Amino acid sequence: MAKKKEEVAAPGSPAWMATFSDLMNLLLCFFVLLFSMSTVDAQKFEEVAASFAQTFSVFTAGATAIGDGLLISNGVSQLNQLDDYINSTGKAEETDRVITDALEEVAEQKMAASEEMAEKVGEAISEAGMEDLIEMEYTSQYVQLTLNGSLLFESGSAELNEEALAVLAQVGVILERYSESIIEIEGHTDSVPITGGIYPSNNELSDARALAVFYFLIENTNLDPAMVKHSGCGEYCPIADNSTPEGRAINRRVEIKIYNSLSDY
């Protein structure tokens, strides 16, 4: 009769003992964690939480809206007190500073463009020997040429004088260099009321004078009429005292403005 083979016990600890040991280790770690959490510094915990909230834009309480506003959900609603929130974070001041710096930089670039244009126009006026006939000034928007009205027209008339034609021809040569820019012609008068004549008031007279210069330039240059504007300002924009003959002579003028490429026109 065959004998039953005797079973040999596996070396080492029984399997149930390893499982029990793992369970004890997990329980030990769990109670150590509970103990450590019970001694957390409340102030440090608040500082850490606030740091995370600011860094990741997390609002406290999870689903709390700012003030009485609604929560933002899929871009459907907005926060009623968003401006207050932005101001409280200090981002509004930074945004204002960035905008202010950008506007100042744009203004500087506009002025630089006008300065460069004025330098070239001034050189052209000097080469043509018209320094005594044309006054030049500039702003961040344009370079302005001012021609005395007595040079261009007789009193109460909008017909160009013969001696003015040569001056306007030289001005046209200068303007052709800036044919891609907006050019504006403005007529001005003094404050003396018109009595008789074909123009009922200084408004019509200033319009007619600006239009006379416009027609001359269009007929004698390659300027695009769509880029040349004309208007009459009458007596309403004086640059001198209308109570004196000298001041009235200065106010009777035609101004030609050449807008730079960065202007707001």
Residue 1 domain-assigned (yes or no): no
Residue 101 domain-assigned (yes or no): no
Tokens standing for 147?
């021609």
Residue 180 domain-assigned (yes or no): yes
CATH number at residue 184: 3.30.1330.60
Residue 242 domain-assigned (yes or no): yes
Tokens standing for 194?
């018109």
**Into how many domains does the chain fold?**
1
Tokens standing for 90?
């200090």
Q: pTM of whole model > 0.85? A: no
Residue 74 domain-assigned (yes or no): no
Residue 91 reports pLDDT greater than 90? no
Rounded to the nearest 5°, which phi and psi values hold at 255? -110, 135
Query: CA 230 to CA 88: how far, in whole Å?
Result: 51
Residues facing 148 on adjacent strands = 253
pLDDT of residue 81: 57
Residue 85 domain-assigned (yes or no): no
Residue 124 domain-assigned (yes or no): yes
Residue 264 domain-assigned (yes or no): no
Question: What tens digit of pLDDT does each residue of 109-157 get?
Answer: 999 999 999 999 999 999 999 999 999 999 999 999 999 988 999 888 9
Q: Structural domain of residue 180, as residue ranges?
A: 114-259
Q: What is the largest CA-CA distance in the chain?
A: 155
Q: What DSSP designation does 134 have?
A: E
Whether residue 141 contacts residue 260, with contact meaning beta carbons closer than 8 Å, is answered with yes
Q: Considering only 1-10, 32-41, 206-215, 224-233, which range has the smallest mean pLDDT?
A: 1-10
| 170 burial via Cβ count (<10 Å: 0-12, 13-18, 19+) | middle
